[in-house]
């Protein structure tokens, strides 16, 4: 398990120990366990039940917010698939949203959205989960929805839906894998690392040849084998009572028949007889070498020490790979990870050589292997162990901040271990790691052991590979068309004593209070807004200082981003590595980033560590060393990042759109600058930007803390004493440089997908005015999953993985944008559908049903707006930036309730004039130009 992505949830009934009851038997359900908070250990309190049909129910009561999170996790992922039938688990994730016996096509999205909720589904190698977070009055409806697709799905799985979702999966693969630099690396490594036929030897999304040859009955058979209640865990958390949840679960899930028995999968040790070298050419800017070692499996006793080893070798700027490759400027990037799944783990290391260093991938491999040897001499320090323990505790406590996080963790532990109460052990096993453990696992799994070495090189540059290929990847199994028929299916039928076609009627929407906050204006011009939040013992702080991308000169675009990066490098007293080490030992984070209008400083800390964390933050901000070597490294990384981004269709579309929309102005350039502007920046330019713009007057600070403001303020003396004022000048935004009606075509050779952007200038942001109303108008057009455009291009036509429209704005400018990444062969047809949908909506406007849907969806979201400290930060930042009163929330609700169909239609006619819009398409220009010309528009090849 990779520590930097580990989400740990616990409940804060005092950071407590647990007690457990004995099982209790009822006629249909067994109460297996009650875990409650006692003492000083970490625990998420819950009750665990098992229904007669084998369904496991876990209920966590959390009364801090009027929300409920429902998660159904099936213990089936790509590892349960058969050779020649890959991708089924992920395919079914899509099919489960396409309606069931009592839920109409695509209605699942509509019901959850109009309830004010969020939802999704995910698939990995080991499990598939579906989840919703909604106001608590919607609990019964969510259980009705999930039960219907568990027990009553198959009759709704038609050949037509099957074909559309097959195209959607292909589009997802195109967008996330085939059209992404290095996108196919992972599946190639898996083919070489695992024996042929191993459950992890094929990708989760599957081989497209497998999906092309199977039929709808194969998919139904897969569902019948794996999606029974006895292979599922239903986890419910939030403002609920366990007994009431149980009654509803027994009603809706109790009659669903169990599926075939499910046995645990074997976890055979993966080993290699020798190091396997493989390579591929790709449409990339920089070559990459990637080394993978097989290790253990998830929750194995050696997983934790391997994670510690991974951090020492290649995580953060104190790691060996960073020091030997990145800081020395031999590589643009280099890192290690230890990814663990239920059956196996991979210890991986990678590097992208810096062009200026003149090194090939063989050189990179040599430095990586020398770094491993260096570890043997270096060993493990006390700081190595201290920082991982601090990180685990910090991650654990921050995991408390959403009911989603807690429920997800309970569900994952129950699914993979059969024990939801693993959170304390998860933290403790990292605390138990010793120096000797780390050295032992290094010797056992890494030192001198064979590995897979993957080289990815730009097309035509095979001379850069680490070594000639000595291993041939096995070809996916070739099979003929499927012959599975409906007669081969063994359908299970549920029998009920109530009518499932009747959708539950939710009670009144729960009242949600706007967070109470305090405000203070400091003498130096910083406005401070804060709120007390004691659900977790944490503090989150956001400091906004005027001096972002808009304040850059055209020829120095990118200087704000370089400054942001340098403000977390070396200080006048300590090196970057020393600063990072101190932060890691606190379990805290400090991030600085450049946005259009400001520099953002974001601080996260356990409240008990806040004084030490803020002392480090003040050292970063007020005592930067501005070392030439730090600057040179960052500058080169940024330039190479821009070059690499030129291979990404989305980046090219954004760059072209900005250039055409805003011309020769700062708004017309990419946020991070261009190769030319970045190369022109000197260290003196960075210092000058800092000295000119990094001033407190006009700054804003937002706090969400378990501490009172006096305690927080006492920990930031330098911030309060800071003085100065930056220049007062508005940026030059520029004017549109495009010809409406023209299609601007940007070339990306052999692109598997095309990026489409249809956009136009629009209003600057406001909170309760016309800009806000345009957002309401846009909602049914492209602002929700089941909007007109997404349903057309994704669900009806299968052209894309997702299509959206929206209005964006800041205080200076705004835009309307419609966007999608579509199948290359569907580019012309997809663009025609964009034009049609935008024109029809502008002409005919919103329907009565859409207006009702929008009102419900927008006004019932309040419960989700203030749940976490991060959400509260965003809400308070909005109040501070626009000088709002808390009543603005009610004003917005009144606008949603009162906006008329006529007003929305007038806004659509005003703001969606197609003949005023810019069209940008990024794809293979040679193939696309003649197709796009069939739309009867002028097509101009646009050079970036």
The 3 state secondary structure assigned to 459-496 is: CCCHHHCCCCCCCCCCCCCCCCCCCCCHHHCCCCCCCC
Q: What is the pLDDT of residues 285-335, one digit of tens each?
A: 999 999 999 999 999 999 999 999 999 999 999 999 999 999 999 999 999
In the chain, what are the domain boundaries?
276-387+427-464, 518-721, 743-941
Q: 237 - beta bridge partners?
A: 60, 69
Non-local (6+) Cβ contacts of 803 within 8 A are: 782, 789, 790, 792, 793, 794, 818, 819, 820, 822, 830, 834
Cα separation of 38 and 17, whole Å?
A: 4
What distance in Å separates the CA atoms of residue 595 and residue 546, rounded to the nearest whole number?
A: 10
Cα 144 versus chain centre, distance: 28
As a whole number of angstroms, the distance between CA 468 and CA 940 comes to: 43
Which residues, in sequence order, are bridge partners of residue 532? 705
- With beta carbons less than 8 A apart as the criterion, state whether 726 and 693 touch: yes
Buried b (16+ CB within 10 A) or exposed e, 360-382: bbebbbebbeebbeebeeeebee
CA distance 821 to 830: 10
Q: How confident is the model at residue 27 (pLDDT cuts 50, 70, 90)?
A: low
CA distance 580 to 587: 10
In DSSP notation, 5-38 reads G-----B-SSS-EEEEPPPEE-SSEEEEEEEEEE
Per-residue pLDDT band at 884 (split at 50, 70, 90): confident
pLDDT at 23 over 80: no
497: CB partners within 8 A, 6+ apart: none
Find the farthest-apart pair of alpha carbons in the chain and give their distance in angstroms, rounded.
79
Where are the extended beta strands (E) located within 829-926? Answer: 918-923
Nearest to 904 by CA among 835, 834, 855, 836: 855
Examine domains 518-721 and 743-941 and report if their fold is the same: yes
CA–CA separation, 309 vs 200, rounded Å? Answer: 24
Give the C-alpha separation, 307 to 315, whole Å.
10
817 and 759 Cβ atoms separated by less than 8 Å: yes
pLDDT over threshold 50, residue 513: yes
3-state helix, strand, coil in the chain (%, to 5): 45, 20, 35
pLDDT of 269 > 80? The answer is yes
Containing 857, the helix (H) or strand (E) segment is helix 848-859
CA dihedral 410, 416, 418, 421 (to 10 degrees): -40
- In angstroms, rounded to a whole number, what is the distance separating the alpha carbons of residues 129 and 77? 10
DSSP for 731-756 reads ---------TTPEEEEE-TT-SEEEE
Q: Could you give the CA distance from residue 356 to residue 518 in angstroms, rounded to a whole number? A: 52
One-letter-per-residue 3-state SS of 260-280: CCCCCCCCCCCCCCCCEEEEE
547 φ/ψ sector (left φ>0, alpha ψ -120 to 50, else beta): left
CB 803 within 8 A of CB 782: yes
* DSSP structure class, residue 257: P
Q: Which CATH superfamily is domain 518-721 in?
A: Metalloenzyme, LuxS/M16 peptidase-like (3.30.830.10)
Question: Residue 21: pLDDT above 60?
Answer: no
pLDDT(9) > 80: no
Beta-bridge partner residues of 292: 348, 452
Partner residues linked to 887 by β-bridges: none
User: In angstroms, rounded to a whole number, what is the distance separating the alpha carbons of residues 471 and 277?
Assistant: 6
Q: How many CA atoms lie within 13 A of 600 on its CB side?
A: 15
- Domain spanning 743-941: CATH superfamily: Metalloenzyme, LuxS/M16 peptidase-like (3.30.830.10)
Q: Let me know how many helices (H) and strands (E) the chain has, helices first.
A: 33, 26
What average pLDDT does this structure show over 833-858? 95
Classify residue 509 by its DSSP letter. Answer: P
| DSSP-assigned beta bridge partners for residue 754 | 822
Nearest C-alpha neighbor of 85 from the set 268, 192, 222, 267: 222
The CB-side HSE value for 680 (13 A sphere, CA atoms) comes to 12
Q: CA-CA distance, 232 to 848, in Å (whole number)? A: 39
Q: How far is CA 326 from CA 351, 355, 596, in A?
A: 9, 12, 28
Q: May I ask the CATH class of domain 276-387+427-464?
A: alpha beta
| Nearest C-alpha neighbor of 777 from the set 851, 861, 859 | 851
Length of the chain in residues, anyone? 944
As a whole number of angstroms, the distance between CA 28 and CA 50 comes to 9
Phi, psi of 475, rounded to the nearest 5 degrees: -80, 140
**What is the reported pLDDT for 480?**
78
Residues 6+ apart with CB under 8 A from 501: 102
Q: Which of 64-78, 91-105, 697-711, 768-782 has the lowest mean pLDDT?
A: 91-105
DSSP 8-state symbol, 594? E
Give ∠ CA 224-227-233 in degrees, rounded to 5: 160
Q: Is 309 helix (H, G, I), strand (E, B) or coil?
A: helix
Between the alpha carbon of residue 756 and those of residues 744, 803, 821, 920, 923, the distances in Å are 10, 9, 6, 6, 9
Say whether pLDDT at 440 is over 90. Answer: yes
**pLDDT given at position 940:** 96
Task: Give, as one character, the DSSP assignment of residue 325.
Answer: I
pLDDT digits (tens, 9 = 90+) for 332-361: 999 999 999 999 999 999 999 999 899 999
Question: Distance from CA of residue 931 to its chain's centroid?
Answer: 35
d(CA 253, CA 404): 22
Q: Considering only residues 871 and 351, tell me which one the structure prediction assigns the higher pLDDT.
A: 351
Determine contact, residues 925/747, Cβ cutoff 8 Å.
Answer: yes
Parallel, antiparallel, or unpaired for β 538-546 and 700-705?
antiparallel
Please give the span between the terminal C-alpha atoms of the chain, in angstroms, as a whole number.
Answer: 41
Residue 384 gets which letter from DSSP? H
State pLDDT tens for residues 129-173. 999 999 999 999 999 999 999 999 988 888 888 888 888 888 888
Taking all residues of the chain, what is their mean pLDDT, rounded to a whole number? Answer: 92
Strands 452-458 and 276-282: parallel
Report CA-CA distances (Å) from 407 to 55, 104, 125, 147, 216. 16, 28, 20, 18, 33
Residue 732 CA, chain-centre distance (Å), reads 33
Other CB atoms within a 10 A radius of the CB of residue 197 amount to 11
Average pLDDT over residues 633-653: 93
The tens digit of pLDDT for each residue in 210-246 reads: 888 888 898 899 999 999 999 999 999 999 999 999 9
CA 141 to chain centroid, in Å, comes to: 27
- Give percent above pLDDT 90 in the chain: 76
Give 725's pLDDT tier (boundaries 50, 70, 90): very high
Asked if the model's pLDDT at residue 8 lies above 70, the reply is: no
d(CA 750, CA 648): 12
pLDDT digits (tens, 9 = 90+) for 582-622: 999 999 999 999 999 999 999 999 999 999 999 999 999 99
């Amino acid at each position: 398990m990779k520590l930097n992505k580990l989400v740990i949830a616990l409940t804060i009934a005092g950071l407590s120990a647990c007690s457990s009851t004995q099982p209790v038997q009822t006629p249909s359900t067994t109460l297996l366990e009650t875990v409650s908070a006692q003492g000083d250990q970490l625990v998420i309190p819950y009750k665990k039940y098992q229904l007669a049909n084998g369904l496991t129910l876990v209920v966590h009561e959390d009364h801090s917010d009027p929300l409920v999170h429902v998660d159904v996790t099936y213990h089936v992922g790509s590892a349960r698939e058969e050779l020649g039938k890959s991708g089924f688990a992920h395919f079914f994730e899509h099919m489960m949203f396409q309606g069931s016996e009592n839920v109409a096509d695509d209605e699942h999205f509509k019901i959850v959205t109009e309830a004010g909720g969020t939802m999704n589904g995910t698939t990995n190698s080991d499990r598939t989960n579906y989840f919703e977070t909604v106001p608590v009055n919607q609990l019964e409806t969510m259980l009705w929805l999930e039960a219907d697709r568990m027990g009553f799905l198959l009759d709704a799985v038609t050949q037509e839906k099957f074909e559309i979702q097959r195209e959607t999966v292909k589009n997802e693969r195109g967008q996330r894998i085939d059209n992404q630099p290095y996108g196919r690396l992972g599946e190639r490594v898996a083919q070489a690392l695992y024996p042929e036929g191993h459950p992890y030897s094929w990708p989760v999304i599957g081989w497209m040849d497998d999906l092309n040859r199977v039929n709808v009955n194969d998919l139904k058979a897969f569902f019948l084998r794996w999606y029974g209640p006895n292979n599922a865990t239903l986890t419910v958390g939030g403002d609920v009572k366990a007994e009431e949840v149980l009654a509803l679960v027994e009603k809706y899930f109790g009659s669903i028949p169990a599926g075939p028995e499910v046995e645990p999968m074997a976890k055979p040790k993966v080993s290699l007889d020798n190091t396997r070298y493989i390579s591929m050419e790709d449409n990339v800017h920089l070559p990459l070498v990637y080394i993978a070692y097989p290790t253990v499996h998830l929750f194995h006793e050696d997983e934790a020490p391997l994670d510690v080893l991974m951090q020492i070798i290649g995580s953060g700027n104190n790691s060996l790979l960073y020091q030997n490759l990145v800081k020395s400027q031999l590589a643009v990037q280099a890192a290690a990870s230890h990814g663990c799944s239920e059956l196996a783990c991979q210890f991986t290391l990678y590097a992208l050589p810096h062009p200026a260093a003149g090194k090939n991938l063989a050189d990179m491999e040599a430095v990586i292997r020398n770094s491993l040897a260096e570890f043997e001499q270096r060993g493990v320090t006390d700081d190595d162990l201290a920082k991982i323990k601090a990180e685990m505790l910090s991650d654990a406590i921050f995991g408390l901040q959403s009911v989603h996080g807690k429920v997800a963790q309970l569900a994952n532990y129950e699914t993979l271990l059969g024990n939801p109460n693993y959170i304390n052990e998860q933290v403790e096993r990292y605390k138990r790691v010793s120096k000797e453990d780390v050295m032992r696992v290094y010797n056992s799994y890494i030192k001198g052991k064979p590995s897979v070495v993957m080289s990815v090189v730009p097309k035509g540059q095979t001379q850069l590979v680490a070594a000639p290929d000595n291993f041939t990847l096995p070809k996916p199994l070739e099979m003929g068309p499927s012959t599975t028929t409906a007669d081969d299916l063994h359908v299970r039928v549920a029998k009920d004593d109530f009518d499932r076609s009747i959708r539950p009627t939710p009670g009144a929407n729960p009242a949600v209070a706007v967070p109470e906050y305090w405000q203070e204006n400091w003498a130096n011009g910083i406005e401070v807004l804060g709120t007390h939040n004691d659900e977790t013992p944490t503090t989150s702080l956001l400091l906004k200082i005027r001096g972002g991308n808009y304040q850059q000169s055209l020829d120095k675009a990118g200087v704000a981003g370089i400054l942001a990066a340098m403000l977390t490098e070396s200080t006048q007293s300590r090196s970057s590595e020393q600063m990072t080490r101190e932060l890691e030992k606190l379990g805290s984070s400090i991030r600085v980033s450049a946005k259009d209008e400001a520099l953002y400083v974001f601080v996260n800390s356990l409240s008990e560590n806040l004084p030490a964390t803020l002392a480090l933050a003040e050292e970063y901000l007020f005592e930067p060393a501005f070392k030439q070597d730090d600057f040179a490294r960052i500058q080169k990384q940024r330039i190479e990042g821009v070059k690499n981004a030129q291979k990404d269709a989305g980046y090219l579309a954004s760059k072209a759109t900005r250039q055409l929309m805003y011309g020769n102005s700062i708004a017309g350039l990419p946020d991070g600058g261009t190769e030319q502007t970045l190369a022109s920046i000197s260290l003196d330019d960075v210092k000058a930007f800092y000295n000119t713009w990094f001033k407190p007057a006009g700054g804003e600070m937002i706090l969400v803390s378990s501490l009172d403001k006096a305690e927080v303020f006492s920990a930031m003396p330098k911030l309060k004493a800071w003085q100065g004022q930056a220049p007062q000048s508005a940026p030059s935004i520029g004017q549109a440089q495009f010809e409406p009606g023209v299609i601007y075509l940007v070339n990306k050779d052999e692109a598997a997908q095309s990026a489409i952007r249809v956009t136009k200038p629009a209003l600057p942001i406001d909170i309760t005015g016309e800009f806000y109303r345009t957002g309401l108008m846009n909602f049914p057009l492209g602002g929700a999953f089941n909007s007109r455009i997404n349903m057309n291009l994704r669900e009806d036509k299968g052209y894309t993985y997702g299509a959206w429209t929206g209005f964006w704005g800041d205080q200076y400018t705004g835009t309307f944008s419609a966007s999608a990444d579509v199948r290359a062969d569907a580019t012309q047809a997809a663009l025609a559908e964009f034009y049609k949908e935008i024109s029809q909506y502008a002409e005919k406007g919103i329907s009565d049903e859409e207006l009702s849907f929008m009102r419900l969806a927008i006004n019932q979201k309040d419960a989700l707006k203030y749940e976490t400290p991060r959400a509260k930060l965003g809400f308070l930042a909005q109040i501070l930036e626009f000088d709002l009163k808390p009543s603005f929330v009610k004003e917005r609700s009144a606008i949603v309730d009162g906006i008329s169909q006529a007003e929305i239609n007038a806004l659509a006619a005003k703001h969606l004039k197609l003949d005023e819009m810019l069209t940008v398409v990024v794809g293979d220009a040679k193939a696309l130009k003649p197709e796009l010309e069939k739309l009867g528009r002028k097509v101009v090849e646009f050079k970036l």
